[in-house]
Amino acid sequence: MNSFKRHMWLVLIAYCIVGLIYPPIGIVAVACMLAPVVTGPFMGRKWCNSFCPRGSFNDVMLKRVTLNKGIPRLFKATAFKVIFLIVLMSLFAMQLTLAWGDWGAVGLVFVRMVLITTVIDIMLGIYYHQRTWCAFCPMGTMGGWAFKLKNRIKRRLQGRESLATMLRKEG
């Protein structure tokens, strides 16, 4: 375990405490939300494995207390991931729309979401497996899709390139 991963969980705890005291700071969560999606095409799940504060919290703290029953298959199913992503993002977008224009209220939307998802993460992590949340985390899911999409495009381009080279040689 690298030193980033050993300590990044402190960022999650600090965020929750400071976010409750000073809600506008909650907006910084945008960085952590976008990171797995933006880095996904280039680094795959590197963000999740090494830098994500919640991933670190799961692997450093929850790992010590989990009953380790394994992640239920339901949480790994694509349909479940898609439905959860749509529901969570819709609720999030609705709250953001209502809060828009007031930075304190906008920050509080982020803080509330992080707190609620952290409680879900802890409950599932203790009962099933420390990384249960990560099996269907919307941001991790989108990062994984971005990585797969990039690979698919790359393979297609390579296929076209080798076909063109072959045709050139034959012609």
Residues in contact with ligand SF4 by CB under 6 A are: 36, 48, 52, 54-55, 133-134, 137, 139-140
Q: Which two tokens stand for residue 69?
A: 């029953």
List CB contacts of 161: < 8 A, sequence separation 6 or more: none
Phi and psi dihedrals of 16, rounded to 5?
Answer: -65, -45
Q: What does R_g of the chain's alpha carbons equal in angstroms?
A: 19
Which CB sits closer to ligand SF4, 48 or 146?
48
Which CB sits closer to ligand SF4, 24 or 72?
72
CA 17 to chain centre: 21
Q: Which two tokens stand for residue 110?
A: 């982020």
Which CB sits closer to ligand SF4, 6 or 160?
6
Nearest distance, CB of residue 52 and ligand SF4, angstroms: 3
Nearest distance, CB of residue 140 and ligand SF4, angstroms: 2
Nearest distance, CB of residue 137 and ligand SF4, angstroms: 3
Which CB sits closer to ligand SF4, 107 or 125?
125
| Number of residue whose CB is nearest ligand SF4 | 140
CA 6 to chain centre: 18
